[in-house]
Structure 1
Amino acid sequence: MQIIRQPWSITNEDVIKLLETSNKGLTEKEAKNRLVNYGTNTFHNKEKINILSLFLKQFINPLIFLLIGASIITVILKEWVSTFVIIFSVLLNVLLGFYHEYHAENTLDKLKSYIKDRARIIRDGREQEIDSSLLVPGDILKLSYGFRVPADARLLTVNNFQVDEAILTGESIPVGKNEKLVPITAIISERKNIAYSGTLVVQGYATAVVCSTGNETEIGKIAGIVSELNRTDTPLKKGVDHLAWLIFFIAIVIVFVILILGVLRGEQLLPMLVLSAAVAVGAVPEALPIVLTVILAIGATRIADKKGIIKKLAAAETLGSATLIMTDKTGTLTKADMQLLGIYTKQELISSEFHKEDQKLFSHDQKKLLEFALSNLDITIEDREEDKKKWIFKGRPFEVDIAKACILHNISFSTINSFSSFIVLPFNSTNKFSVSLKDEKYIIMGAPDVLLKKSNVSKEEYLKLESWIKTTSESGKRLIAVGTISKKHVKNNISPQDIESINFLGMFVFYDPIRPEVPAAIKNIESHGIKIVIVTGDLKGTAIFIAKSLDWAVIENEVITGNDIRDLSDEELLIIIPKIKIFARVTPEDKLRIGKLYQKLGEIVAMTGDGVNDAPALKAVDIGI
């Protein structure tokens, strides 16, 4: 069997052949052999903290070394009170540091939490469920709604299959998948025929063949990068280390000066040794480690009161020393929750009014669009209480938001028992639209570019609508178009090919809203002289739109993409990045590189992030949040 490094650029048939498997799956015997050869489907990280090593690590501090040396001298001099005070200082410092860091180490390891315990596969021609750690390359996976993908796999068949890849790419919008080939140079977010380990299936189902497991998966590679990174010393640690070595050398100099002067004056050697040792002990600030630890512990406690966990005590000081913050977009600047921004009729879109946003009151025509959309929603309602505002909807986020808008604007739900009963052609990633039947009309809802091409609009209207769709999509918004066809113009058993000459009605616009507290926080941070840059896996246009939503002035040459970064050397980037405000379409490796380059420029770098794609950079920078 041959391990495939770029399965997205190879046909399904070749992938199956190279992995020496089939649609019936591996045999149990072959699966056991491969488990021995390729190992379990788990992360094998080098970094593994245990209680003893965490405790002993607290002693690795130049000041502690000085104090231990001083305590040995006081024992020799039989200065028992000094010995007790110094040892007490050392133990108190070590125990305080150990307590806070052990408490933080008990938090959930986020990387491992993305791997589910069970996987549904085909082996020996039979569908079965196994522990996901026992998956091997060549296994045939069955993926469906609600499951996390247990390993990197090449898609063989798909049916309306969508995956949330935010943990890897940072993009908040679910990605439609298919089995078509993509170029070998495609980045993770462009590999539509691969289902990645740790990502969440949000719609449809698929079959796939496992190509990589464990540390060979994309999420495993990120875990490997994280485990091999060395933590950067904090500014406080660097300062304390420098002070400790300075005290050490001063103490040595004092010892030699006292010895030499004493010998020159004719004093006996032993008394002079005792005197110089006593002076050296006096030069050691035995209270300093305790003072520093207590101050940092107070800082950590205050941050804990704000629902934050300080993993390393020294991070409490670094947070206040940061000169630059790298922030991701999804979930940090935004809510990571696509919401309905506005409803636009065709007439509004082709007139000067099409730029309106944040609508609060809908017109009669806009409410009509809501009514049409209501019959095309593939959702269910739980706990149908008398108060409709308390209804719980289950379905795709966009459809749920349309349903909530219907309630807000008193659109009648009285005839709705099962939404899907109206749908005659469900949505899928091939057609990119769904069709429902209501009041002798077929209602079509789906991708605006697809509906526009199948519509009966004039050429002039087509060009205006096409331009609006392109501009709005590039700004990070998600669009859903709505149109109708009279039933009398279509045969009874409707098929996707029958959908032509659509009466284009309008558009629903969705966006990922800014967190309300973010604009004020950014202004406050920048007022203290701290620079902020956005580092995101999203499109360039999306990132610029977010910046403008924050009233954050950005011009074209202050934005750079991941492709541009990968084409430049470190030396070239060091010249460019001080002027950059937005890094778009970046990979985890790009984020890591950017963080290190800022550190080379002398910045004390903090980074915020909530996805696995942020993990390497979060560890490499001065402080990860």
Structure 2
Amino acid sequence: MADPPHELPWSRVLEALESSSDGLSSDEVRRRREEYGENDIVEGGGRSTVDIFVAQFDSVLIWVLIVAAVLSIWAGHVVDAVLIGIIVVANGIFGFVQDYRAERSLESLRELAAPTATVRRNGDTSDVDAIALVPGDIVILRGGDVVPADARLLEETDLEVDEAALTGESVPVSKSTEPVEPETPLAERTSMVYKGTNVTRGKGVAVVTGTGMETAVGSIASELAATEETETPLQTELDQLGRTLGGGVLVLSALVAPLLILRGTDAVQAALTAVSLAVAAIPEGLPAVVTLTLALGVRRMSDENALVRRLPAVEALGGVDVICTDKTGTLTKGQMTVSRLWINDTIVDVDSERIDAAGDRDTDREELLLKIGTLCNDSTLEEGDPTEQALLEVADRRGLDLEALCDEYPRTGEVPFSSDRKWMGTVHDDVGYVKGAPEVVVDHCDRILTADGPVALTDDRRDRIKTTVREFGDDALRVLAMAYREDPADPDDLAGELTFVGLAGMIDPPREEVADAIVATERAGIEVKMVTGDNVRTASAIADELGIGTEVLEGREIERMDDEELRERVETVDVFARTSPEHKVRILQALQDRGHDVAMTGDGVNDAPALKNADIGVAMGIRGTDVARQASDMVLLDDNYATIEQAIERGRTIFDNIWKFVAYLLSANVGEVALVFIASLYGYLILPAVQLLWINLVTDGLPALALGSDPKSEGVMDRSPRDRDQGIIGREMLVMIGGMGAVTTIVLLALMFYTLEGAPAVTPRTMTLVFTGFVFLELVGLYVIRWLRETPILSNGWLTASVAVSILLHLSVLYTPLSQYFGTVPLDVTDWGLIAAVLAVCLPGYLGVAVFAKRMQD
């Protein structure tokens, strides 16, 4: 269509679609199906099993390890190559298992499709598969239906549609056949119904204007498919680390081998030394340790009701400094609830039982108000209009037996609700009950029920009712009025001479735990911003109640701003109301352009583009749509905002642990490279490749893995989020890596020269001493690094056990037949004294480096 259907009269829409109220002919339907295809959402395409597995090896660091394995085979070190291969494969398996489980736990966009639709074709009405609809089809809608396609309304009777999943609007939208302005946002296009939304009441007839990918849902799906997956800072940094190490290995190998040959070393020995340097430079255990630590975090988070789809998202949570959260179903309960009653100047706070009244509470009038809300009602507690369900829920909660009440007062007549009438009434033998819009119900009343019985409804009392309605509205409450008439002759008598009983104010209330969670996240230096499709008044009231803030920006204003203007405003705005999916993405991009790491929470289809574009997309598991879950990095299984706070705390702890073992591994590797390189300049191959691999296995294996279970540091949620540009390898870590590596190299070189006593080649005793000294120095350095991150020394039992196992394993290659494979000899008491002296010299040096690194960071 040349013009959007929401702005055209329905007759022009029919004309443009070459359709009629009798529907299309069978031949025309077949032709249009060939032209437009099926009314289906083409999935963005979850990853296949093969893709998930291959992705585990898409890392420069992994490829560097594979190259090292090839070099080891070339040099005749088959054992070394096997060890590297085992590490690479194990890393791939760990990552694959977690990613596969998360991917398979999510369903596709097809869950949104309505299975059948009632359609009028050839003048006859029948049910067909919704997938077979075409533009121009005439569909019949009734309460409880899922809208099968985007459509322009031709007829409607009291039609209301729940569009929360698409627009974020928390209450059903009353529909109309009248056209709306061209620039009207999707949430206010009352002349349209949209695929995947739910009819809550009434009925309607509409002409299909869009099917499949040409629907509002399809547009979102297209945008998701076009959005590339973004890497987390950890992924980017580890990839850069792999490139750096790979380049360093090539340079070292290219320098050392020719240099040794020039010094008279034979080519084979020179090649072995080059391979040893390559092995020393590469932290073989780093990919596996990172993967296992993240997987451990994922398992713990799953126990805490947070399902992580991508492992790196766990660590990325720790860097979030802005949370853009949806309102409906995320900050709120996602269901209408009666929170306040008004009965002739008496206000009852339903939840707290607080009473603001001129006199004592009148339970009889309060019960009558709840009784009217129950009997003048077409819904049940399980299904129906959310507003009517809220009236039933409050009556049930306050002790009324709903089933017995309906049996005692059977309905004998009714006046159905209509959008024009704005009230409904029911007759129960000798009494009639009415509920509806306050301004309309009051006009039909001439009396008001007081504690002394009905009295005249004076102008002063009418003004007080209007004032109360306005005050309820200012608090974002949706207000209904209740009235009755005794002995109505027939339902038509309900349009006058009513006795006013009171008001019920209802809202989609905040979750009880959310306010405390917001305080905790803001204490951690994380800003919370509400981004919702709801109207300004409702959004502002909820935000104010939760302590988010009161600075509001509406979607219409965003449309008038260019990107630069929006970047200026996003920092100060607390609430973004009446936003579309496009607005949400622009808001996120503006925040990211200003250097923020942004988490987006949401549950609706309308949230999906923003979820996918966010640094961390967090979807709701219970109320969330499949589209939102598919687009997210993490799913809250309990839909609880407070779970986000726990996840962020877990993310920060995991980042701390990753920081610790990256500092641990790299400081050790710097020491290894420097030691082997400097020793080779003097013609000594002090540590062959098999010993370097053993060092990395026993010190970087179990102890490094145990670091992944380190408890959180005190005050982890009291510090600001880390700088997104700083990453893991910042100034503090560089000082630790360089300082500890230098101390290790100097002391072990001194040990080497001292024990060689001028020998032309490395002796087995010297090699064993340096080999053993390196293992013990790395284990000591591990505890120094934990001390720097304020982790109690004996707080991790797994670490203590792993260190003990590592020591026993190393002793086994000194005092068992395994020594022949490592070229070691047993050490005597004098040798152990030398080891103790090395530790005594290095420990103060390590602590000095740690103190200096801490000052550099501060």
Q: Is this a same-fold pair by TM over 0.5?
A: yes
Alignment of 1:374-413 (within 5 A): 374-379=374-379, 395-407=384-396, 408-410=398-400
Aligned 8 A contact 2:119 2:138 in 1: yes
Task: Tell me the CA shift for residue 124 of structure 1.
Answer: 1.9
Contact 2:374 2:402 in 1 (8 A): no
Superimposed CA distance per residue, residues 564-623 of structure 1 (whole angstroms, 9 cap, x where no aligned partner): 222112211222211222111111111111122222222221121111111111111111
Partner AA of 2:420 in structure 1: T
Q: Which residue of 1 aligns with 2:594?
A: 601
When residues 324 and 406 of structure 1 are mapped into structure 2, their CA distance, relative to the original with a 3 A threshold, is closer
Task: Report the Cα offset of residue 443 of structure 1.
Answer: 2.9
What is the root-mean-square deviation in Å for CA atoms of aligned residues?
2.6
Change (3 A) 1:436 1:141: same
Are 1:251 and 2:249 matched, yes or no?
Answer: yes
The reply to whether residue 621 of structure 1 matches residue 614 of structure 2 is: yes
Q: What's 1:581 paired with?
A: 574
Note the alpha carbon deviations across 1:504-540, whole angstroms, 9 max, x for none.
3321111222212212222222222222111111112
**Contact 1:153–1:196 (CA under 8 A) maintained in structure 2:** yes
Q: Say if 2:436 is the partner of 1:436.
A: no
Aligned length: 600
Moved more, 417-426 or 610-619: 417-426
Partner of 1:531: 527
1:304 pairs with 302, 305, 310, which one?
A: 302
**Structure 1: how far apart are the matches of 2:515 and 2:255?**
60
Identify the range of structure 1 (131-140 vs 400-409) with the bigger mean alpha-carbon deviation.
400-409
SS of equivalent residue, structure 2 residue 38: coil
Larger Rg: 2
The aligned counterpart of 1:480 is 480
Q: Secondary structure at the match of 2:39?
A: coil
Distance in 2 (alpha carbons) for counterparts of 1:315 and 1:493: 61
The one-character-per-residue Cα deviations of 1:292-329 (angstroms, maximum 9, x if unpaired) are: 11101100111111232211111111122222211111
Residue 418 (structure 2) pairs with residue 425 (structure 1): no
Match of 2:663 in 1: none
2-structure distance, mates of 1:415, 1:334: 31
CA gap 1:335/1:419 in 2 versus in 1, 3 angstroms: farther
1:363-382 Cα distance to aligned partner (Å, 9 max, x none): 333223233444322246xx
Per the TM alignment, residue 559 of structure 1 is displaced from its structure 2 partner at its CA by 1.7
Structure 1 SS opposite 2:157: strand
Is the contact made by 2:340 and 2:350 (CA closer than 8 Å) also made in structure 1? Answer: yes
What residue is the counterpart of 1:20 in the other structure? 18
CA distance in 1, matches of 2:122, 2:177: 24
1:460-499 aligned at under 5 Å gives the runs 460-485=460-485, 492=490, 494=492, 499=495
Q: How does 1:200-349 map to 2 (within 5 A)?
A: 200-259=198-257, 261-262=259-260, 265=263, 272=270, 275-345=273-343, 347-348=344-345
* SS of equivalent residue, structure 1 residue 141: strand
Partner of residue 149, structure 1? 147
Cα deviation, residue 209, structure 1: 0.8
Distance 1:4 1:252 in 2: 62
Aligned twin of 2:557: 564
For the pair 1:505 / 2:495, whether they are aligned, the reply is no
For residue 549 of structure 2, what is the amino acid of its counterpart? V
8 A Cα contact 1:367 1:411, kept in partner: no
Q: Equivalent residue of 2:318, what SS?
A: helix
- How far apart are 1:393 and its partner, in Å? 6.0
Offset of residue 468 of structure 1: 3.5
What amino acid is the match of 1:554? G
Change (3 A) 1:372 1:133: closer
**The 10-residue stretch of structure 1 (93-102 or 471-480) with the greater mean CA deviation from structure 2:** 471-480
1:379-429 CA-to-partner distances (Å, cap 9, x unmatched) read 46xxxxxxxxxxx66543333443444453557975633977244211122
- Does the CA-based 8 Å contact 2:372-2:435 persist in structure 1? no
- Rate the CA distance shift 1:518–1:154 in 2: closer, same or farther, 3 A: same
Measure, in 1, the Cα distance between the counterparts of 2:15 and 2:402.
55
Q: AA paired with 2:574?
A: K
CA distance in 2, matches of 1:540, 1:419: 41
CA displacement 1:37-62 (0-9 Å, x = unmatched): 11111122454421112211211111
- Aligned residue for 1:427, secondary structure, equals coil
Q: 1:412 to 1:152 in 2, by over 3 A?
A: closer
**For residues 419 and 94 of structure 1, what CA distance do their matches in structure 2 show?**
68
Q: Could you tell me whether the CA contact under 8 Å between 2:147 and 2:196 is conserved in 1?
A: yes
1:355 Cα deviation (Å)? Answer: 8.9
Taking structure 2 as the reference length, the TM-score comes to 0.66
Check conservation: 1:4, 1:211, Cα contact below 8 A: no
**Secondary structure at the residue paired with 1:128?**
strand
| Residue 444 (structure 2) pairs with residue 446 (structure 1) | no
Residue 481 of structure 1, CA deviation = 0.9
Q: What secondary structure, in the 3-state scheme, does the structure 2 residue paired with 1:291 have?
A: helix
1:231-265, Cα deviation, whole Å (9 max, x unpaired): 22112112212211221222232233325634664
Name the residue aligned to 1:384.
none
Question: Helix, strand or coil: the match of 1:63?
Answer: helix
Choose from 604, 607, 610 the match for 1:611: 604
Aligned counterparts of 1:418 and 1:121: Cα–Cα separation in 2 = 40
Aligned amino acid, residue 185 of structure 2: I
CA distance, structure 2, for counterparts of residue 531 and residue 493 of structure 1: 55
Give the Cα–Cα distance (whole angstroms) in 1 for the partners of residues 611 and 340 of structure 2.
Answer: 36
With over 3 angstroms needed to count, the CA separation of the structure-2 counterparts of 1:410 and 1:292, relative to structure 1, is closer
Q: Is the 8 A contact 1:370 1:406 kept in 2?
A: yes
Unaligned runs of 5+ in 2: 354-360, 447-456, 619-858
CA distance in 1 between partners of 2:230 and 2:555 (Å): 25
Alignment of 1:357-376 (within 5 A): 358=351, 360=353, 363-376=363-376
What SS class does the counterpart of residue 579 from structure 1 fall into? coil
Please give the secondary structure, in 1, of the residue aligned with 2:22: coil
**Pairing 1:554–2:554 present:** no
CA distance in 2, matches of 1:147, 1:515: 29
TM-score (norm 1): 0.89
Q: Secondary structure at the match of 1:340?
A: strand
The alpha-carbon deviation at position 167 of structure 1 amounts to 0.4
Aligned-partner Cα distance in 2 for 1:342–1:472: 9
> Which one-letter code corresponds to 1:579 in the other structure?
T
The answer for the alignment partner of 2:648 in structure 1 is none
Q: Deviations over 1:173-222 (max 9, x none)?
A: 11111211111111111011111100011112211111001111101111
In the alignment, what sits opposite 2:69? 71
After TM superposition, the structure 1 stretch with the greater mean CA deviation from structure 2, 112-121 or 8-17, is 112-121
Counterparts of 1:105-124 in structure 2, within 5 Å, are 105-109=103-107, 111-124=109-122
* 1:494 partner SS: helix
Q: Are the equivalent residues in 2 in contact too, given 1:19–1:137 (CA < 8 A)?
A: yes
Distance across 1 between alignment mates of 2:352 and 2:246: 69
SS of the residue corresponding to residue 329 of structure 1 reads coil
Q: Residue 383 of structure 1 aligns with which residue?
A: none
Q: Given the superposition, is the C-alpha separation of residues 320 and 553 from structure 1 closer, same or farther in structure 2, using an over 3 Å criterion?
A: closer
Indicate the SS of the match to 1:309.
strand
Q: Give, as a single letter, the amino acid of the residue that structure 1 aligns with 2:48.
A: N
The structural deviation recorded for 1:451 is 2.3
